[in-house]
Structure 1
Amino acid sequence: MPEGHSVHRIARQFDRNFVGKTLSASSPQGRFAEGAGELDGRTAVSVQAVGKQMFLETEGDLWLRVHLGLYGAWDFAGEILVDPTIASANGRMGQTNQRGTDLVDDAILDDAGENSLASIGAPRRTRVHVRMSEQTRGLAPEDDEWPPPIVGQVRLRLLTDITAADLRGPTACVLQTPEEMLATVARLGPDPLVGDPVENEERFVSAVRKKPTVIALLLMDQAVVSGIGNVYRAEMLFRQRLNPHTPGRDVPEEIVRELWRDWVRLLAIGVETGQMMTMDDLSSEQYRAAMASRDDRHWVYHRAGLPCRVCGTEIALEEIGARKLYWCPRCQA
């Protein structure tokens, strides 16, 4: 399932390429035919990501809500312009929120052939696949056929005169009134990139500190905090050396606040780079390796049975809330 940084990146793609333009909407699969008919011919007015959900506003007070879930994906094709707020001032996507690491000029290709420092790039004719992983993956350049051919089961296709977005396999793809949209957002926990920063922190601290539920489950509860998934959950708990089985109400307030502030930092890095980078103080060589391979990007996630990077203890794997939890039994005792 995509975590919060991916959905914010998708929303920024829509803001850059669809907002202010008239939409041609269809449902090639047929499952959203009525909704596509309602969207067709309307102008996109605004877009907002909150946690793992995206809300696209169109004229006439109609909102499209999309939750990708486990299997959802967006494909973008045509003339695609990346949002400049994702890249650094010199056009590169770098580690501006990390300590001790300089930006590098050379491309860093991961095992999928993606340039992690410029994963979407400048305007060009291309296809881009944005799905449940943290990566924004460039596919092979397409031919000049327009609109591009339908590939697979497309729930919703949105077209402008030069850009296409195809949605596949979402958990939710629904139309909402403004009141319904606001009610959906109200049920979600705070998102560092939405709303007042001070109020968001206080909401998170209050929600965690009053609950007997263990902190590992609270961090995945989208009513407590928006956007955190399995990867960020494991990494944030390790970074605070916090036992995942600690009840929320037993976590010291200063640690709860540090969890929130760490989420603010990590989400910003994820939105900027397109990667869930959770390790600090890396040399340039270590940073390049981490951007190229997830195996070098995390402290504990996906490292079951391997030695802890800090103490050497074997990283534990257990199931909690029907999801895998990775943690160090010594550092997080």
Structure 2
Amino acid sequence: MPEGHTLHRLALDLGDAFAGRQVRVTSPQGRFAESAAQIDGTVVTAAQAWGKHLFLDLSDGHHVHVHLGLYGTWAVHRHVPAVPEPVGQVRMRLVTGDGAGTFALADLRGATACDLITTEQRDSVVERLGPDPLRTQALPPSDPDAAWARIRRSRTSIAALLMDQSVLAGVGNVYRAEILFRHRVDPFRPGSSMRIGRWQQMWDDLVVLMHEGVRTNRIDTVRPEHTPEAMGRDPRRDDHGGEVYVYRRDGQPCLVCGARVRTRELAHRNLFWCPRCQPRFRSRAEAARRLR
């Protein structure tokens, strides 16, 4: 499933292509046909993302709400000389002239959600989400204290909490595994055992890493001393791209300590961690019992 940086990158691309322009809206597949006809000819006023949700704001007061889910894709093309026939199951197509005698085109396929909604319905979706590290400069800005309030009261593992979009919006499996590794946190540690200082460090790190993900359109989490060039190793080969410490590296040596990276299913997703760099958390009571 695309992580938050991908949705924010898409919002930027869609805004660049369509914001301020009148759009033709169709549904070649037919599943969005009624809504497409209703908003055909409106002007896109903005495109924005909250976590893994993307919204197109329209001049008639409606919003197109898109959640890509596991299989959704949105292909955005600029400066197309002629509008081609749709290929595959295109749920929604946007087309506009780009002012240069060519066209901008966006095709949405396979999304879990593609709905025409009101402002009240959009606000309801957003209210259910936790703070988004990529919206720190938005109005209102995302507040990490809102996530901390949920984390510090929960006995659920920090790894599961980081993937709960009502706690923290936009973080997926890759950023979850990598942020825990970078801060040497046991993934199975209860949220209530965390300290606010550690959480603030993790949040600040996510803000930097995810903004860089938007800029480069890939996830890179290794520090300069652990890049392929610095270590003399081959670059990572994976369809997700980017250089990472533990994600999808199960059985391989940790780039920091050499221990074998481990994996285990948690909440229906594969979790990756280094058992040496992220040692098991023991409460004070548990540690005292072990010393007896």
TM norm structure 2: 0.87
Match of 1:248 among 191, 215, 218: 191
Determine which structure has the larger helix proportion and give its number.
Answer: 2
Matched, 1:173 2:114: yes
Q: Per-residue CA shift, 1:201-256, capped at 9, x if unaligned?
A: 21122121111111011000111111111111000000010000011111121111
CA distance in 1, matches of 2:89, 2:5: 25
Task: Say which one has the larger Rg.
Answer: 2
Matched, 1:267 2:210: yes
Shift of the 45–198 alpha-carbon distance from structure 1 to 2, 3 Å rule, reads closer
Identity of aligned pairs, percent? Answer: 43
CA distance in 2, matches of 1:318, 1:183: 34
Structure 1 residue runs of 5 or longer lacking an equivalent are 80-124, 126-143
Match of 1:34 in 2: 34
Q: Per-residue CA shift, 1:61-99, capped at 9, x if unaligned?
A: 1000000010000112241xxxxxxxxxxxxxxxxxxxx
SS at the partner of 2:126?
A: helix
Q: What is the CA distance between 1:258 and its match in structure 2?
A: 1.2
Matched, 1:184 2:111: no
Do the aligned partners of 1:156 and 1:166 also contact (CA within 8 Å) in 2?
Answer: yes
Match of 1:99 in 2: none
Do the aligned partners of 2:262 and 2:272 also contact (CA within 8 Å) in 1?
Answer: yes
Match of 2:94 in 1: 158
Match of 1:218 in 2: 161
Aligned residues between the structures? 269
| Aligned 1:189-200 pairs, distance under 5 A | 189-194=130-135, 195=138, 200=143
CA distance in 2, matches of 1:72, 1:208: 30
Larger RCO, structure (CA 8 Å, separation 6 or more): 1
SS at the partner of 1:314?
A: coil
Structure 2 residue runs of 5 or longer lacking an equivalent are 98-102, 280-292
Match of 1:65 in 2: 65
Matched, 1:310 2:283: no
CA distance in 2, matches of 1:154, 1:49: 21
Q: Per-residue CA shift, 1:132-159, capped at 9, x if unaligned?
A: xxxxxxxxxxxx4x21121110000011
Q: What is the CA distance between 1:292 and its match in structure 2?
A: 7.4
Shift of the 322–151 alpha-carbon distance from structure 1 to 2, 3 Å rule, reads same
Matched, 1:234 2:177: yes
Match of 2:76 in 1: 76
Do the aligned partners of 1:290 and 1:297 also contact (CA within 8 Å) in 2?
Answer: no
Do the aligned partners of 2:29 and 2:89 also contact (CA within 8 Å) in 1?
Answer: yes
Q: Per-residue CA shift, 1:166-192, capped at 9, x if unaligned?
A: 000001100110111111111111112
Do the aligned partners of 1:77 and 1:148 also contact (CA within 8 Å) in 2?
Answer: no
CA distance in 1, matches of 2:71, 2:141: 34
Q: Which stretches of structure 1, 4 residues or more, deviate above 6 A after TM superposition?
A: 287-292
